Amino acid sequence: MIGRLNHIAIAVPDLDAAVRQYSGTLGAKVGPPQDEPDHGVTVVFIELPNTKVELLYPLGDDSPILGFLDKNPSGGIHHMCFEVEDILAARDRLKAEGARVLGNGEPKIGAHGKPVLFLHPKDFNGCLIELEQV
């Protein structure tokens, strides 16, 4: 059902410092900051030959990333995103197998302009999973 790894997301307490680290220290191709108000984050994508890294930074006082950074003040891996061909079919299959979809269960448009859903980390070994329709 899941396809390729689309990205790994890392919550960061200082977006500018993280961008400098990936672009300067590691020499990676880093995209521009992109505000995602529907998700409460600012994102920056780092392009790699085989996938992407998504830097997440809080956008607004009710950002879901704030709680994560409170528990992990240095930042850390927040979620993994896998591609799926049909997000509704994937959702229905996962729910039938007992997985919990976060929110109201309906896809939102993600940072790539495509439908996304998140799966409860308690159902996946403590890892928040994002599904993105390709």
So which residues are the catalytic ones? 130
Residue partners of 21: CB distance under 8 A and separation at least 6? none
Residue 77's beta-bridge partner residues? 10
Residue 91's nearest CA partner among 115, 117, 113, 109 is 117
In three-state secondary structure terms, 60 is coil
* Rg of the chain on CA atoms, in Å: 15
What SS3 class is residue 71? helix
